[in-house]
Amino acid sequence: MALLDVCGISDWVKEDTFSAQKASVDRVNHFNFAAREPELAVPIGVDPAEFLKPFTDCEDGVEGVTIKLEHGTTTLAFKFQHGVMVAVDSRASAGAYVSTQMFKKVIEINPYLLGTMSGSAADCVYWERVLARECRIYKLRNKERISVSAASKLLANMVANYRGMGLSMGTMICGWDKKGPGLYYVDDNGLRLSGNMFSTGSGNSYAYGVMDSGYRYDLTVPEAYDLAQRAIFHATHRDAYSGGTVNMYHMQETGWIKVSQEDVGELYHRFAAEKK
Amino acid sequence: MISARAYGDNGKMKEYHYTGPVEHKFSPYAFNGGTVLAVAGEDFALVASDTRLSEGYSIHSRDSPKCYKLTDTTVIGCSGFHGDCLTLTKIIEARLKMYKHSNNKSMTSGAIAAMLSTILYGKRFFPYYVYNIIGGLDEEGRGAVYSFDPVGSYQRDTYKAGGSASAMLQPLLDNQIGFKNMENVEQLPLTLEKAVQLVKDVFISAAERDVYTGDALKICIITKEGIREEIVPLRKD
């Protein structure tokens, strides 16, 4: 409608939902290269999740072609009296091969918001960068920082559009806003939960065990650091897809601080020495 | 020589059963082999690749290098499916030109890496079957290496190997450049001469044990003076 375009209102109606009809044509064309509007290409006429399965899931792939995407993690976060503790490991594996032992699984969205990543590395990195951009735009438009609740809702709604297409993402959005410390779990199905303690990834059950046995709301700061570090360490010890280093962040009222980054091998010797 | 797998566990030949007509689905991908390696130093970066292009049991070409020069300070190495490598480099070069025309300056290595991540993710549901490694100098003149997975997950590294022999090269680099699993060793910074010699040695070893790597090695050496190339022959068998 011409009047709608002149008023600029057509911008408000954003076409970022998945529509099967439009997706039947490969929209990422080679003339604008998705430079202005980000576009995701979808294979024509096939279910995207089924299309990739023979290449990613089977050991030998299809005629020797195996596309192994980077995966795997243990991450955790919990609220306590002095804010929110966030701890992650740093291993990224592609199938059985360890791609890197130093992957950054915490994205620093702004000085008061952190996002953790688990599941498929590319999905998490991309969608959390899009989230960081949306948070920045919110701040510019509204002259105040976005709340943790709103940020997590934005992310949940973005990925819900791609439900069933094979995304794999389990993330925790942690921050400090006007309501105090905030912690939300968001996953690739669009599930969004608020809570006091979460752990995600292939090693999450090991981390829950250690966290649950030592957690109290009134932990002191050094005790909380120690608990978070131990939980990740024990998960890396038992889960093959977690390892590398333990990266810890502490979300305080004045913003987040990076507490430490310690190699799991060093931690093993330190804890073993304590036992004696 | 037929490997032992054709024989069953008890030493007899495996029995073949006629399973009926088998439908072979068209696969949009092929594996063309090749190995790429990048190393970042204090004021230099190296991107090296072999030049063999294979498919199945055949070699299509012995002179198909996998390093592509993007700007005066950045080189990208792409291995995997050659068709996707060519298209991807074309798209990157087009985007570089668009950036140059709109912003009146060349893209920095970090910016190219971030852009490549979004280009790759744009095909999340029908990926480019390419393992990319970008090597170049950052804005401060220090060496930078960025390694990618096929759908755009990336990291800045000091060194990285990708492609068919990556699993053989990476542990050796971890030991020699990262000093992993070494005790009481003096950790000297990597000089350009030592890095080039290490890359040559490492590829010679890879050519011995990986069928898809060989023929010749092309090293692109990126310093503030520009990009220099060296070609070293490898085993051709």
pLDDT digit string (tens) for A217-249? 999 999 999 999 999 999 999 999 999 999 999
Q: What are the residues whose beta carbons fall under 8 Å from the beta carbon of A72, sequence distance 6 or more?
A: A91, A92, A93, A118, A201, A202, A241, A242
pLDDT digit string (tens) for A75-131? 999 999 999 999 999 998 888 888 888 899 999 999 999 999 998 889 999 999 999
The number of folded domains in chain A is: 1
Q: How far is CA A43 from the centre of its chain?
A: 25
Contact (Cβ atoms closer than 8 angstroms) between residue A219 and residue A81: yes
Cα distance between residue A268 and residue B194, in whole Å: 34
Chain B residues inside the 8 Å CB shell of A165: 125
The per-residue pLDDT for A220 is: 96
Domain membership of residue A68 (yes or no) is no
pLDDT digit string (tens) for A39-60? 677 766 777 777 777 777 766 6
Cα distance between residue A147 and residue A184, in whole Å: 11
* Matching residue, tokens 């030998």: A60
Per 3-state DSSP, chain A is made up of helix, strand and coil in percentages (nearest 5) of 35, 30, 35
Chain A residues inside the 8 Å CB shell of B166: 97
**What are the phi and psi torsion angles at A4 (to 5°)?**
-60, -40
Domain range for A80 = 75-275
Domain membership of residue B88 (yes or no) is yes
Domain membership of residue B105 (yes or no) is yes
- Residue A20 scores a pLDDT above 70: no
The sign of the torsion formed by the CA atoms of B121, B152, A95, A209 equals negative
Domain membership of residue A55 (yes or no) is no
Question: How big is chain A by its Cα radius of gyration, in Å?
Answer: 21
Domain membership of residue B218 (yes or no) is yes
Domain membership of residue B19 (yes or no) is no
Cα distance between residue A192 and residue B14, in whole Å: 53
Q: Do B31 and A122 touch (CB under 8 A)?
A: no
Stated as kind and residue range, the H or E segment containing A48 is helix A48-56
Domain range for B110 = 35-181+188-234
Query: Is residue B6 very low, low, confident or very high in pLDDT (cuts 50, 70, 90)?
Result: very low
Domain membership of residue A16 (yes or no) is no
Name residue B67's amino acid.
C
Q: What are the residues whose beta carbons fall under 8 Å from the beta carbon of A4, sequence distance 6 or more?
A: A10
Considering only CA atoms, which of A242, A267, A262, A245 is closest in space to residue A92? Answer: A242
Chain A residues inside the 8 Å CB shell of B126: 41-43, 48, 51
Domain membership of residue A66 (yes or no) is no
Query: Is residue B103 very low, low, confident or very high in pLDDT (cuts 50, 70, 90)?
Result: very high
Cα distance between residue B230 and residue B200, in whole Å: 10
Question: How big is chain B by its Cα radius of gyration, in Å?
Answer: 20
Q: What CATH number corresponds to the domain at position B152?
A: 3.60.20.10
Cα distance between residue B153 and residue B118, in whole Å: 9
Q: Do A39 and B122 touch (CB under 8 A)?
A: yes
Domain membership of residue A12 (yes or no) is no
By C-alpha distance, the chain A residue nearest B128 is A67
Q: Which whole number is the average pLDDT over A205-223?
A: 95
Supply the mean pLDDT for chain B.
Answer: 90
ipTM greater than cut 0.85: no
By C-alpha distance, the chain B residue nearest A90 is B155
Query: Is residue A2 very low, low, confident or very high in pLDDT (cuts 50, 70, 90)?
Result: low
Domain membership of residue B25 (yes or no) is no
The number of folded domains in chain B is: 1
Q: Do A126 and B125 touch (CB under 8 A)?
A: no
The per-residue pLDDT for A63 is: 72
- Residue A276 token pair: 């004696």
Q: Which whole number is the average pLDDT over A140-156?
A: 95
Q: What CATH number corresponds to the domain at position A98?
A: 3.60.20.10
Contact (Cβ atoms closer than 8 angstroms) between residue A135 and residue A141: no
Cα distance between residue A94 and residue B127, in whole Å: 15
Supply the mean pLDDT for chain A.
Answer: 86
The per-residue pLDDT for A189 is: 87
Domain membership of residue B107 (yes or no) is yes
By C-alpha distance, the chain A residue nearest B181 is A265
Domain membership of residue A247 (yes or no) is yes
